[in-house]
Chain A
Amino acid sequence: MIDGFVALYIFMLAAFVGYEVISRVPVILHTPLMSGSNFIHGIVLVGAMVALGFADTTLEKVIGFVGVVLASGNAVGGYVVTERMLEMFKRSKDGDRDEE
């Protein structure tokens, strides 16, 4: 159990982290960042799992099930497309190192 204000502090600090991490990025990286952050909010999966895990009634189970389906689509799809896109970024000079 996280105390109310501690949760609020986490919320605030995380907001600053998000802002700082992104603040000075070249345009070329907008895609990885957007796609990557799209993947990261796939963490909603763990919440959906817990919600479904404790569901009692059929209605709760149905909604919870849909929630987990959607969340895993977010996490898995987000990872696959981000990874595919980032795989392609390479540099011309001394670039062989970055290729795999």
Chain B
Amino acid sequence: MSLDTLIAGSYFLAAILFILGLKAMSSPAGARRGIVWAGLGMVLATVVTFFWPGMKPENLLLIGAAIIVGGVPAWISGRRVAMTGMPQMIALYNGMGGGAAAAIAWVELLRGGHGGEEFGWTVIALAVTGALIGAVSFSGSLLAFAKLEGWLKRSLRFAGQNVLNLVILLVAAGAGVLVIMGVSGPWLTVFIALALLLGITLTMPIGGADMPVVISLYNALTGLAVGLEGLVLDNAAMIIAGTVVGAAGTLLTQLMAKAMNRSLGNVLFSAFGETAAEGDEIEGSMKPVEAIDAAVMLGFARQVIIIPGYGMAVAQAQHKVWELAEALMKRGVRVKFAIHPVAGRMPGHMNVLLAEAGVPYDLIFDEAEINPEFPKTDVALVIGANDVVNTAARTDTASPIYGMPILDADKANNAIVIKRGKGTGFSGIENALFYEDRTRMLYGDGQAMCAELIRAVHEI
């Protein structure tokens, strides 16, 4: 068997493993197996690539060194990061993939061909397109990482932002066309620099709560860039894996945007938050409650639904939340968890945190499954969630979140809201739920309050 056949066969096997792995990841029970399969495919593809015919022996050393330089810190950081830090790590690793795709295009365009054959203009066009998408995903993801990590507190917004983005895109595209036409000069460098800049200016105005959509989008874009560079390199494994991810990621992005009842364009270009002050004034007052009273309400309930939000992640309260749920279940209370698709800072953020705390996934429900349950529920316990339970989304047409499907916490007999202070959520919108007659506010740090509730539940 020749080396070519061995490599092509291994890539074929890797592609099968990726698809099977991804398929297995779409059910909770098989998910673990799925990532192991995909991992095997990756190791196989990487190992056989070292035997690619014609590569320069001295470059093989560089390759080995680069894998260690990139892989070892990634391994360590991936092992060490707390579960609450997952969104930014995923953004970071994803951005690296996009950057790699752009780097491939850059090298290939500098070389102008491989195997003694010059690239035709279609191949160059594919490389340029992939480089643009990859570079945007790279710098955009890195900025998303910086924002999620808390290095960048404010979202920079100014008038004419979209116009500026469009101008950068057009100039970058122009430089790209010059590259494709083979015009000599610094156009390739200009093109790459502008593409990187575009990723930054696109991501700059996007606020924290829209991050699930953005991370998911950049994931899809990196996949697409990898698929395009696969076409340039005639590498079927890259074409298949990249394109599968591109398509799957696009679908996931649409699901995220739909869960917020907004279009993708609206998420990217609307500079959410500036309109926030326009919502109706809410009449009434917020009614505080003491932990002991809240514990009585919870302890004597038949059914409690817990609604976690980003605040739970910030307070690292997931373990205490599960401890509280267990204490309640021991008393015979039925406890369920309701998770809104866009709660937190990445798709499924809350699921991961609850899973870390040991909450079995069959106690966790999404919005469509759980909403009919609220009228039969005694207490809805809201922990660090805000906009996803705001009833203004149903009634207030002036509210920026109007039309977003929410969790019907207000339809439970009572709602208890654990919240750090009286301020508004990320969007600056007053939450109508907090002013309802049947809502009680338990002010304090999520973790500390859960601990108090646990103590109180044990006492009653």
Contact (Cβ within 8 A) A67 B99: yes
The CA of A17 and the CA of B277, in the complex, are separated in Å by 44
If over half of B's interface residues share one DSSP class (helix, strand or loop), that class is named, otherwise mixed; here it is helix
The CA of A35 and the CA of B249, in the complex, are separated in Å by 10
CB distance from B17 to the nearest CB of A (A): 10
Query: Residue of B at shortest CB range from A2?
Result: B234
Contact (Cβ within 8 A) B230 A47: yes
The CA of A48 and the CA of B231, in the complex, are separated in Å by 13
Contact (Cβ within 8 A) A74 B94: yes
The CA of A31 and the CA of B77, in the complex, are separated in Å by 19
CB distance from A59 to the nearest CB of B (A): 7
Contact of B242 among A33, A44, A61, A83 (CB under 8 A): A44
| Chain A residues near B18 (CB-CB < 8 A) | 40, 43
The CA of A19 and the CA of B110, in the complex, are separated in Å by 34
The CA of A3 and the CA of B315, in the complex, are separated in Å by 55
Contact (Cβ within 8 A) A47 B216: no
Binary interface profile of A, 16-45, with partner B (CB < 8 Å = 1, else 0)?
A: 111101111111111111111111111111
Contact (Cβ within 8 A) B227 A69: no
Contact (Cβ within 8 A) A73 B70: yes
B355 interface residue per 8 A CB criterion: yes
Contact (Cβ within 8 A) B239 A41: no
The CA of A25 and the CA of B240, in the complex, are separated in Å by 21
B375 interface residue per 8 A CB criterion: no
How many residues belonging to A are interface residues under a CB distance threshold of 8 Å? 85
Query: Residue of B at shortest CB range from A18?
Result: B247
Q: With A29-B31, A74-B94, A86-B31 known to touch, is A15 a contact of B247 (CB < 8 Å)?
A: yes
Contact of B244 among A21, A66, A85 (CB under 8 A): A21
| Chain A residues near B351 (CB-CB < 8 A) | 27-28, 30-31
Contact (Cβ within 8 A) B247 A17: yes
B380 interface residue per 8 A CB criterion: no
Binary interface profile of B, 70-96, with partner A (CB < 8 Å = 1, else 0)?
A: 111111011101010010011011101
B305 interface residue per 8 A CB criterion: no
How many residues belonging to B are interface residues under a CB distance threshold of 8 Å? 118
| Chain B residues near A88 (CB-CB < 8 A) | 352, 355-356, 358
Contact (Cβ within 8 A) A46 B26: no
Q: With A73-B70, A80-B74 known to touch, is A49 a contact of B46 (CB < 8 Å)?
A: yes
Contact of B231 among A11, A28, A54, A86 (CB under 8 A): A11
Contact (Cβ within 8 A) A17 B244: yes
The CA of A6 and the CA of B358, in the complex, are separated in Å by 47
| Chain B residues near A39 (CB-CB < 8 A) | 35, 38-39, 42, 93
| Chain A residues near B75 (CB-CB < 8 A) | 76-77, 80
Query: Residue of A at shortest CB range from B89?
Result: A81
CB distance from A5 to the nearest CB of B (A): 12
Contact (Cβ within 8 A) A22 B252: yes
Binary interface profile of B, 222-261, with partner A (CB < 8 Å = 1, else 0)?
A: 1100110111011111111111111111111001100000
The CA of A97 and the CA of B96, in the complex, are separated in Å by 36
The CA of A71 and the CA of B244, in the complex, are separated in Å by 18
Contact (Cβ within 8 A) A67 B35: no
The CA of A86 and the CA of B18, in the complex, are separated in Å by 16
Stretch at the interface among B61-69, B168-176, B385-393: B61-69
Contact (Cβ within 8 A) A81 B122: no
| Chain A residues near B355 (CB-CB < 8 A) | 85, 88-90
| Chain A residues near B209 (CB-CB < 8 A) | none
Q: With A17-B247, A39-B38, A73-B96 known to touch, is A32 a contact of B77 (CB < 8 Å)?
A: no
CB contacts under 8 Å to A, within B339-373, are: 339, 341, 346-349, 351-352, 355-356, 358, 360-364, 366-367
CB distance from A68 to the nearest CB of B (A): 4
Q: What residues of chain A have their CB less than 8 Å away from a CB belonging to chain B?
A: 1-2, 4, 7, 10-11, 14-19, 21-57, 59-61, 63-93, 95, 98
Q: What residues of chain B have their CB less than 8 Å away from a CB belonging to chain A?
A: 11, 14, 18-19, 21-23, 25-29, 31-32, 34-36, 38-39, 42, 45-46, 49-50, 52, 54-56, 59-60, 62-63, 65-67, 69-75, 77-79, 81, 83, 86, 89-90, 92-94, 96-97, 99-101, 103-104, 106-108, 110-111, 114, 122, 138, 215-216, 219, 222-223, 226-227, 229-231, 233-252, 255-256, 339, 341, 346-349, 351-352, 355-356, 358, 360-364, 366-367
Closest 10 CB pairs of A and B: A67-B103, A18-B247, A31-B348, A53-B55, A80-B78, A92-B360, A77-B74, A68-B66, A30-B347, A71-B100
Assuming A34-B215, A39-B42, A56-B111, what are 12 further A-B pairs, CB within 8 angstroms? A18-B22, A21-B26, A22-B247, A23-B251, A27-B339, A41-B223, A49-B52, A52-B66, A67-B106, A79-B78, A81-B90, A88-B356
A-B contact pairs, 15 of them (CB 8 A): A14-B243, A25-B26, A28-B361, A32-B348, A37-B252, A39-B35, A48-B104, A55-B59, A57-B110, A66-B103, A69-B69, A71-B96, A71-B100, A72-B71, A78-B90
